[in-house]
Structure 1
C-alpha cells in the first residue's frame, strides 16, 4: 500500500520539523504546500538557507502578504508538531499498553479492552479488515474465519520494511511478506480448529508492522452462519453465536458491527446480538458496507441510518466502500481501492454529504476506531488496575501454600503437618467468630448465615399475619363444632390452646429447613478452607473432607433434635402471668387505637360485626403469639449457631489435631499431589504475569 491511502502514519521528525513525506493522523497531516513556501526576502540577510527557485523581491503589499503566509505556515507546522507529540504521548502508549498486557497473557486472568468485529456472512467484514490492515484475508464459501483472530496493527516509519508475526498455541511464525498471511491463517486455523470446517474459541494472534496501517488492535470473529455446510457440525450456527456472545458480552469489549447497506438493518443478526449484550448502545459502533449496491431511491434511508436516526448507537455509524469480488478478480490493489473509495464518496450525489461530515471512508474509520479504543482504554484502566491487584493478591496467597514442599526427615514432617493443621484451625476459629480474612468480593460466612435468619424472621411475620386473618373463621369453626354444655359467649380455653398449637406446628418444618440451609453453608465454607490449606496434599485434604462430612451429619442430627425439642416445649402453651398480661394489654390498646382512628378496616369490621367472645379470642391469641414469636425469633438461630457453627467448628479442630497422633500415617497424609507441581508452576507464571502487568501500569501512569 502506498502513502496515498491517507492512513494514520508516524511523522518523521528532524531538527527543522516534519519531513516532506511524513504522514500523521488525518487531522494532523500537513498540506502539500507546507514544505514549498519560500522564505521572505527580508530574512535573506539573517543567514537562512535560500531555495534555488526563490522568487524575486515583490512590492511591499505583496511582500507583506507573503511574509504573513510564511508565518501562518510556520505556525501550522508547529501546531502539527504539537498534535503529533500529543498523539505519541497519549494515544500510542494506550494501545501499546493493552497489547503488552495481552502479550503477557493477562486475558487468561481477566478481560482486556478490545474491539471485536462481528457480522453476518457476506456482510463485507473481511473486506473492511483487509482495507484497514493492507493484507488479504482468507476468502471462500461458508465459514472462513473459524477462530478469533487478533489483528494487531502497528504503524512504523516509512523507512522500515513490512513485517508480520503469527502466534497460536506454542507456534510463533515470522512473516516477511504480506502475501504469506492468507496461507498462514488457513494453516493456523486447521491446527486449532481442525480441517473439517469446525470452529474454536482459541485465539490466533497476527501482528502486522507496516508504514501503511493505523495503530489499532481488532479481534475478527467468525461470521454468523445459519446452516451447516459440508462436514461442519449441524449446530454450527449456535456454536458461533455462543462464541460471539462470550466475547462481545464483556464490558471491556467494543463491538464493531458490520452491516451491508442493501439489507434491512433491523433484521441483521449481528446487530441484534450486539443490542442483546449492549442495550444502550454504549459499546457498539455500526459499519455500513457495499454502498454501491444500494437500490436507487433508498439512499436517504441509508443516510438516516448513518446519522443515527433509525437504530441509535452512542458511538454512531460509519460507511465504507471496500473491494468487491470483481475488484479482487481484477486484482485491484488495496491502495487503489482506497483511492477509488474516496472518489466514490466525493462524487456520489447523495453520499458525498457523509464524506463532508466525516462519516465515510476507511481512513476516517481507522481514525475513529483508534480514538474510540483509546477512550475506552482510559475509561477502563482504573477498574483493570484494581482487578489485576486483587487477582495478584489471591494468587500470591495460593502460591504461598504450594511453595511449602514436604520436608525429608520424620521429625520435620511432624512439625510441618502440625503447622499445616494449626493454620487451618486458626482460619476455622476466625470463621466461627466472623473475623475471617476475605479476598476480593468474598462474603463472610456469618453474613450468609444472617441472610438465612432474616428468612426465618420473615416466616414468623407471615405466620402472625396469617393468624390474624384466619382466626375469626377458626373461632367460629370451634364454636360450631366443639362447644359443649357451656353457654354462648363463654371463652373456651381449649379452643385457644388448639389454635396456638396448630400455628406452632406449622412453624416447625420451616425452622428445620433454615437449619439445613445454614449447616450446608458451614460445611461448604469449611470444605473450601481445607482445599485452600491442603490443596497440594490430596490425602490430607481428603482426610479433612471426611471429618467435615462426618461432623456435619452429627451436628445436623443434634441441632434438629434441639429444634424439635424447642417446638415440643412450645406446644405446652405457657407464659408467665405478668408477661402475658403486658402483651394482652398492648394488643387491646393497639386495637382500640386503630379502631378509633379508622386505620385498619379489618379491626373495625370485627368491632362492628363479630360478637365479643370472638374479639376476645382474637386478642388473647394475638397476645400469646406475639410473645411466642419473639421467643422463636431468637431461640431457633441460637440453637443453629450453637450446634451447626460453633460446635461444628470446635469438633473439627479437635479431630484435625487427632491426626497428629497417628504418626504412622504422616507420610501418607503429606504425600504431594501429582498435580501440585503443575499447579505451582501455573501459579508462579501467573504471579510473574501479573507483576509485569502492574509494572506496565505503573510505567504508563508515570508518563
Structure 2
C-alpha cells in the first residue's frame, strides 16, 4: 500500500513486483492532505505518475480517534462514502475510491486467478470420486482404475489364503513339533496360535504397499494427463501444476503408507470380538475335515479300559493325539486368519481411497491456488510459441473477415431497393 505522503511504492511491493505488473496501489489518508495538493493525488490515481498495471484505489480508513470513539466499521464506511461524495476534488473519482471498491477489485483479481485452475481441479475431483459422464475417456477414470487395483488386492489375499490353507496341516505340524514345550497333550498354546497367525498376516504388508504405490502412480499420471488439454498452451503454468501434483501425491502417499504400516502393526496384536470369533469357529467346524486314523481305546479315560492300553503301540497313541491337537490348532488359526483377511480386504483399499483419491483431489484446488498466487501471473500465462503463432494467425484472419464484412455491408447498403 502507498500513502499519498509517500508518493512511492512500499519496499515490499518493489521487492516482489519491481515492474508494477501485479501490484494494486492503495492511496490512504486523503483527509490529511494540505489544500492544493489534491491534484497531485489525482494524477497518481489516474496512473499518470508511477504506473501500475492494475491501477490505484483511494480509501479513507478509520483514524485512531475514530477507534477510540468506538466508531463501528459500518459507520466508518458510511463516513468514507460521504467524504468522497462531498469533497470538492475527490467527488469525481467514485469508481476509484472507497474500501468497497477496493474489496471488489481484490475479489475480482482473486477470482481471475482461480478461474485458471477451477475447471481443471473439478475434472480431477470428478475422475477421482467416480463422478464422470459416459463420454469421459476410460484412460482418465481414476476411480474405475483404482477399483481394478482393489480387486487385484482382494484376489491376492484370497489366493494367499487358499494356498496357506492347503499347506496348513504341514505348517501347523512343523510349528508345533518345533515349539511344543511343557504342554500336555490336548493343551493348545495361545502363544503358538498367536505366532502362527501373525507369521502369515505380516506377509501381506508388502503386497498392500505395492498396491498403494501402483494407485499413487496411476493418480499422478492421470492428473498430469488431464492438465495437458487444459493448460497445454501455457507450458510454464503446466509445469508448475505438474510439480504441485507430484508433491501433493507424494504427501498423500506417505500418509497412506504410514496408516497401512500402523494397520499391520495393529493386526500383529491378534484381536477380534469374541462373538465374531466364535461364529467363525462354528462355521469352520461345520466344514468337512480330513479323516485321521483312529486308534481304538487309545485315548480312553475310563479306569476299566486301562488293561487294554499295553496292546496299543505308543507311537500310535502319540500320533492320534498329535493329529487331534493339530486339527484343533488348524481350526482356530484358520478362523482367525479368515477374520483378519476380511478386515484387510476392505481396510487397505479404504485407506488408499481416502488419501490418494478423496484427500488428493479435494486439496488440489487449494494447493494450486497457492501456486498461482505465489508465482508471477505474467510468467505463468506465457503461451507456447506455436500456440501463440496460431492465435495471431487466427486473429489476423478474423480481422480480415470483419473488414470484408464491413465493406460488403457498405456496398450492399448503397444499392437501392427494387
- TM band (smaller chain): 0.5 to 0.7
RMSD: 2.7
Deviations along 1:502-553, whole A, 9 cap, x unmatched? Answer: 1111000000000000011111111012112111111111110110111111
Cα distance change, pair 441–513 in 1 and its aligned pair in 2 (3 A): closer
Return closer, same or farther for 1:435/1:635 CA change in 2, 3 Å cut-off: same
Report the counterpart of residue 427 of structure 1 in structure 2: 123
Question: How many angstroms apart in 2 are the aligned matches of 1:439 and 1:607?
Answer: 65
Provide the residue aligned with 1:541 in structure 2.
238
C-alpha separation in 1, matches of 2:334 and 2:391? 63
Structure 2 distance, partners of 1:539, 1:566, is 41
C-alpha deviation, 1:441, in angstroms: 5.2
1:508 aligned residue (205, 218, 223)? 205
Q: Contact 2:143 / 2:357 at 8 angstroms: preserved in 1?
A: no
Find the aligned partners of 1:451 and 1:430 in 2 and give their Cα distance: 18
Matched, 1:456 2:165: no
Provide the residue aligned with 2:333 in structure 1: 621
Correspondence for 2:180:
483
Does 2:255 align with 1:552? no
C-alpha distance in 1, partners of 2:193/2:152? 28
Contact in 2 for aligned 1:413/1:666 (Cα 8 Å): no
Measured in 2, the distance between the counterparts of 1:607 and 1:673 equals 84
Distance in 2, Cα, partners of 1:479 & 1:419: 67
Shift of 1:466: 2.1
Contact 2:113 2:372 in 1 (8 A): yes
**1:675 is the counterpart of 2:386:** yes
What is the alpha-carbon distance in structure 1 between the residues aligned to residue 244 and residue 120 of structure 2? 14
TM-score by length of 1: 0.36
Separation (CA, whole Å) in 2 of partners of 1:460 and 1:677 = 53
Partners in 1 of 2:258 and 2:362 — Cα distance? 19
Q: In structure 1, which of residues 604, 626, 630 is the aligned counterpart of residue 342 of structure 2? A: 630
More helix by share: 2
**Separation in 1 of the partners of 2:259 and 2:165?**
29
Does residue 570 (structure 1) correspond to residue 267 (structure 2)? The answer is yes
Q: Residue 681 of structure 1: CA displacement? A: 9.4
Q: Which has the higher strand share?
A: 1
Q: Equivalents in 2 of 1:546, 1:535: separation in Å?
A: 15
Q: Where does structure 2 lack aligned partners over 5 or more consecutive residues?
A: 1-52, 55-104, 296-319, 396-418
Task: Name the SS of the counterpart of 2:270 in structure 1.
Answer: coil
The count of aligned residue pairs is 265
Alpha carbons 1:428, 1:653 under 8 Å: kept = no
CA distance in 2, matches of 1:607, 1:529: 68
Alignment of 1:224-235 (within 5 A): none
Q: Which among 515, 519, 523 is matched to residue 220 of structure 2?
A: 523
1:339 aligned partner: none
1:297-336 alignment runs, 5 A limit: none
After the TM superposition, which residues 147-546 of structure 1 pair with which residues of structure 2 at under 5 Å, given as runs? 415-437=111-133, 438-439=135-136, 442=139, 444-546=141-243
Q: Distance in 1 between matches of 2:272 and 2:328?
A: 18
Higher RCO, Cα 8 Å, sep 6+: 2
TM-score, normalised via structure 2 length: 0.59
